[in-house]
């Protein structure tokens, strides 16, 4: 869900997402991510979130770097991030509360918007 937030907020505001049980059902016009062979997926020591923001020239955004470190830690471990336990708990609760992918994404976007706001230090 963090990757979907990043895409909608910083890459393509009109992006639509579908969850697939198998990749062989991926529509030919879709840009797939986060699986072996996808255009954007974990590479070397970077998780998909990091690959995406670097690929689209967003690396200079300090708030995205902090969110990237948080996502990285939750996805694969590494350097602990203070906010990780709280975010992980929120995500687990959200998965339990919302069964619709669209509803879940809408709620997750609010959490990541709040992290971005806090990490960017903007008062607006």
For 37-59, write each residue's pLDDT tens digit: 777 877 888 999 999 999 999 99
Q: What are phi and psi of 46, to 5 degrees?
A: -105, 140
Quick check: 29 and 75 in contact, CB under 8 A? Answer: no
Distance CA 44, CA 26 (A): 25
Phi/psi of residue 67, nearest 5 degrees: -65, -40
Q: How many CA atoms lie within 13 A of 94 on its CB side?
A: 18
How many whole angstroms separate alpha carbon 102 and alpha carbon 122?
28
108-121 tens-digit pLDDT: 999 999 999 999 98
- Work out the pLDDT band at 124, boundaries 50, 70, 90: low
Read off the pLDDT of residues 6-19 as tens digits, 9 standing for 90 and up: 999 999 999 888 77
Residue 107's nearest CA partner among 86, 123, 124, 93 is: 93
Taking only the tens place, the pLDDT of each residue in 91-110 is 999 989 998 888 988 999 99
Is pLDDT of 24 > 80?
A: no
Rounded average pLDDT over 24-35: 76
């Amino acid at each position: 869900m963090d990757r979907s937030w990043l895409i909608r907020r910083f890459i393509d505001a009109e992006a639509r997402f579908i969850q697939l049980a198998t990749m062989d059902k991926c529509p030919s016009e879709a840009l797939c991510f986060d699986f072996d062979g996808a255009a954007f997926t974990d590479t070397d020591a970077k998780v998909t979130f990091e690959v995406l923001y670097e690929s689209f020239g967003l690396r200079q955004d300090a708030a995205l770097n902090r969110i990237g470190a948080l996502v990285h830690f939750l996805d694969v471990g590494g350097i602990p991030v203070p906010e990780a336990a709280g975010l992980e708990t929120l995500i687990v609760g959200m998965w339990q509360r919302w069964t619709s992918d669209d509803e879940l994404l809408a709620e997750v976007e609010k959490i990541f918007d709040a992290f971005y706001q806090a990490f960017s230090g903007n008062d607006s």
